[in-house]
Amino acid sequence: MTFTVQNREEIAVTIEKDAIFFRNAVKTYATKISMGLLYQTKIITAASEIVRNLLKYGGGGKAMIETVTDGRKVGIRLTFKDSGPGIPDLDKAMSDGFSTGKSLGLGLPGAKRLVDQFDIRSTVGVGTTVTLLKWK
Partner 1 sequence: MEKIPILKFGEFLLVTIQVDLYDQLAENLEADLINLVRKHHSRGVLIDISAVSIIDSFMGRILVNIAKMSKIMDAETVVTGMQPAVAITLIELGLHFEGVYNALNIEKGMELLRSKIYNLDEDHDIYSSE
Ligand X SMILES: Nc1ncnc2c1ncn2[C@@H]1O[C@H](COP(=O)(O)OP(=O)(O)OP(=O)(O)O)[C@@H](O)[C@H]1O
Q: Interface with ligand X includes 54 (CB under 6 A)?
A: yes
Map the footprint of ligand X across residues 93-112, applying CB under 6 A: 93, 98-101, 103-109
| Burial bucket for residue 87 (CB in 10 Å: 0-12, 13-18, 19+) | buried
- CA–CA separation, 131 vs 15, rounded Å? 20
Of all residues in this chain, which one has the CB nearest to ligand X in the complex? Answer: 107
Among 58, 61, 75, 107, binds Mg ion (CB under 5 A): 107
H/E element, 110: helix 107-114
| Burial bucket for residue 43 (CB in 10 Å: 0-12, 13-18, 19+) | buried
Partner from ligand X, partner 1, Mg ion, none binding residue 17, C-beta < 5-8 Å depending on class = partner 1
Interface residues with partner 1 (CB under 8 A) are 16-17, 19-20, 23-24, 37-38, 40-42, 44-45, 48-49, 52, 96, 104, 106-107, 109-111, 113-114
